[in-house]
Chains A and B, each alone.
Chain A
């Protein structure tokens, strides 16, 4: 054990951290760690419904297929985020003729005790979010809801950091404008 650790560590440099070669990848473990977040993200982007199970499955199947192409240029979770977004947007485009999914007031969940007014406000805001263009919605959800950094959003959406930043700002501005208009 000590020899192994010393070997690993003596090869190490101070910064940045270099990954050890050929790591064993535990797909099931990764799935269990991330599935809840993926499900939640898909629910936000496509609305609640029975289709979520299929979309989660499709996301992980895509991840399976794409793993050989994963070049470790970003974190695996970022890669998964990118796949999730693509799956969600594909689903939306397939169903674009159908009316957009809407959360009913009963389905709006707010942490802690929330009164009916707050729920109404949230339902209205969810509707306003649905009016935003897709890239802005994605940027907003990743930044404001999931608290991801601009770097992570840029990697997940395949854009530059400045574009991600601009999208977040634009999404916030548009959303506020829409909320004012409705209020």
Chain B
């Protein structure tokens, strides 16, 4: 065999015996294919990604304010609008006050509910999504709670003054200022609030500016006028500040990632998303009814990824000591408790929704293993069978459905599973087994029509075309319904079994017109291949 022919076989079918036989004789081809194999294996090897970089990228992606992409608008000639735009611009300079930028909600964060902030440092921009809150304990005795839908810059030292720029949203501040500490100013587009040792809140919502003082005195400067506000006084309308934790040296930091419903740190409830500054030492974190010991070290960030957990028990009254985990000899984290079946099932559903079928099957298998004799395990096996059937893996589907039936799957799902087994046997070409299976289905009203379709197809394979016609004639299907697709497919297969290729091609064209590009596409392709194997050889 010459080298060109071998190359062609390799390109079409990979390393066949013929190719390997040639390689034993031809050093040139051997070298080229050796380099080819070395290329594939070198490219296939994934180098592990640096976890720090992985976290850094995720933090930046989640913190980014993302606008959905809109389709580009059609460009229109601009000259007719020129005069109107110019007039409006001049008018706005004199008459209209320029509106403050509307708060832009980071939509992605709103949707995912994920953390908006990475490790907050001085001068970092802080973006807190809607329905979220973040409390940061900065150095210098300053604690700032950023409210929902807030965009601000973390405080920075500027001209001997701590400056906290607030673009939009609400900040609640506690500033335990020592005499040597610089004064703090919250700066918004509409004004500045300067304080010396106090608890207060500032809000900038579109063009509305509000200040509320809970302790001490602040100086408010708006439109060139300065005014002093004492404790209890309010400009605008603003809710009182939530209880802010006392300040502490920012030596360690704890970040919580994930969808936990309630997290407690040393018995104190923590709202997510949160980045907590904690004193060094060991901290007990309670997640639902589980606890974890974490060591907080100076200057280190501890990250916890939390999965969704059951709601935590009722909060403990303040008079009682906060519940703590029993001390452990080593500061290592305890292994997480096993995930309950319901959570696993929810994850499997989510995976199915995202069309991650392999992951869904893996999760369902876990459920099946965890509940080998119970109803949930049977349901999981039933689901596995459905997924396999959707991917045309008939043997695997059959095994899963038989397992579900053995575990006592109840009606009407049991009939569905039996029908699925029959259809799988039919697809595998095991006519005898399919016949035995279909006979067991008689008298199951829930699957009567679909059973008739299977019966029709089976009779065709057995060569009993009259019986097949009778069975298929019983089926009443709505146009463009799944049952209608099944019926047409059965008729096409009958035509093929009968040798009526023209009839099959006509029906296939109609099937393509009605169901092309839908989830029936795979079936259509397989029929097309059966009709014209040369064209569809891929």
Contacts and interface: CB of A to CB of B under 8 A. Distances in A.
A49 to B, nearest CB: 13
Nearest to A182: B35
A89 interface: no
Nearest to A17: B390
Contacts of B420: 14
A11 to B, nearest CB: 11
A5 B43 contact: no
B44 A176 contact: no
B68 A69 contact: yes
Contacts of A5: 345, 376, 379
Contact of A27 (B112, B349, B352): B112
Interface string A109-138: 111001000110110111011000000000
A40 B47 contact: yes
B54 A65 contact: no
A68 B538 CA distance: 34
Interface residues of A, number: 77
B412 A10 contact: yes
Interface in B40-68: 40-49, 53-54, 56-58, 60-62, 64, 66-68
A117 B210 CA distance: 72
Given A9-B382, A26-B112, A169-B11, A76 B354 contact: yes
Contacts of A40: 46-47
B277 interface: no
Given A16-B519, A60-B57, A118-B38, A24 B68 contact: no
B386 interface: yes
Contacts of A173: 7, 11
Contacts of A26: 112, 259, 350
A57 B66 CA distance: 13
A141 B43 contact: yes
A28 to B, nearest CB: 5
B353 A161 contact: no
A53 B34 contact: no
Contact of B108 (A12, A44, A64): A64
A180 B54 CA distance: 40
A44 B49 contact: no
Given A9-B383, A19-B355, A26-B259, A125 B66 contact: no
Interface string A20-42: 10011111101110011101100
B481 to A, nearest CB: 10
Contacts of B482: 13
Contacts of B382: 9
Contacts of B354: 19, 23, 25, 30, 75-76
Contacts of B423: 14
Contact of B538 (A28, A162, A172): A162
- By secondary structure, the A interface counts as helix
Interface string B335-374: 0000001100100011011111100000000000000000
Contacts of B49: 35-36, 39
Contacts of B375: 2
A68 to B, nearest CB: 5
A125 B37 CA distance: 9
Nearest to B71: A69
A74 B382 CA distance: 24
A172 B10 contact: yes
Contact of B41 (A65, A111, A141): A111
Contact of B352 (A17, A109, A126): A17
B416 interface: yes
Contacts of A129: 39, 43
A25 B61 contact: no
A96 B165 CA distance: 42
Contacts of A8: 349
Contacts of B345: 1, 5
A5 B341 CA distance: 11
Nearest to A145: B43
A135 B111 CA distance: 35
A175 interface: yes
Contacts of A114: 38
A51 B190 CA distance: 41
A17 B385 CA distance: 10
B350 A122 contact: no
A19 B355 CA distance: 8
Nearest to B383: A9
A101 B35 CA distance: 19
Contacts of A179: 31-32, 35-36
Given A65-B68, A179-B32, 8 more contacts: A1-B342, A13-B482, A14-B420, A20-B352, A36-B49, A44-B43, A110-B41, A169-B12
9 contacts: A1-B345, A17-B352, A25-B111, A27-B111, A61-B61, A75-B354, A108-B42, A111-B44, A122-B35
Interface of B: 7, 10-12, 28, 31-36, 38-49, 53-54, 56-58, 60-62, 64, 66-69, 107-108, 111-112, 114, 257-259, 341-342, 345, 349-350, 352-357, 375-376, 379, 382-383, 386-387, 389-390, 412-413, 416, 419-420, 423, 450, 482, 519-520, 538
Top 3 nearest A-B pairs (CB, nearest first) are: A23-B353, A125-B39, A16-B519
